[in-house]
Structure 1
């Protein structure tokens, strides 16, 4: 590959967030992800690792849009160290679809999360993700009580 076409891991992750993770073009996940990506979901009560394909990830983003509409995501911190890139974000959406048994409230919900991505040959091959799920549930409860 021509050196002028090489991007840093940080640039790749910024583009991934701008293009795919925002929900603008989830179908472009294959530009950023290996054919199989180990996705470690770090939940205190049930840590799991699943294998995601770019298509599976695109479907996951579409499901998020079904729940949160055309959400906005802001990268609040991005740190690069060798093959790994840490991203902390704030996502703001409107609860328009069922989520974890909660019916739509049409009110704003904020998600705070972070992930560490490992890249090889300019592709995401593995990531560890943590999302404040309890914070989301607390917002949904509060929003339902307000109705």
Structure 2
């Protein structure tokens, strides 16, 4: 598979929540996850199992959500993806009790593929936008 096909399959199967455990087929045993946060960049090591658990946590918080790839660009062994995720606030998130209202996440990442597996990625998420939605939803309930 090409790097673009690997990342597209990752989104369709794993990131979407349809089949989180499929991460074992698409991710290296240890993946460097660079979380690009404006106040402080953090790099964590993720395993396919860790990532599958992370997706299950998103399902607990936002129910069955949709992920729409809005842009995907590939160059060599790197693939850029920007997506929109829409879920429903059904579980506690950052101390906010469930409201049953929609929460939208806009995010992007660059994935580096090595030996047909995701080996490293750099991710940016509009965390402030999510926080504002949670606060607004709390006030409207």
Query: TM-score w.r.t. structure 1 length?
Result: 0.95
Q: Deviations over 1:87-112 (max 9, x none)?
A: 00000000000111111111001000
Which residue number corresponds to residue 63 of structure 2?
A: 69
Which residue number corresponds to residue 120 of structure 2?
A: 126
Higher radius of gyration, 1 or 2:
1
Q: Map 1:1-147 onto structure 2 (within 5 A).
A: 7-147=1-141
Number of residue pairs aligned between Structure 1 and Structure 2: 141
Q: Separation in 2 of the partners of 1:51 and 1:66?
A: 22
Q: Separation in 1 of the partners of 2:50 and 2:134?
A: 26
Name the Cα RMSD after superposition: 0.5
SS of match in other structure, 2:33: strand
Q: Separation in 1 of the partners of 2:94 and 2:139?
A: 16
Give, in angstroms, the shift of residue 126 of structure 1.
0.1
SS of match in other structure, 1:145: helix
Q: Which runs of 5+ in 2 are unaligned?
A: none
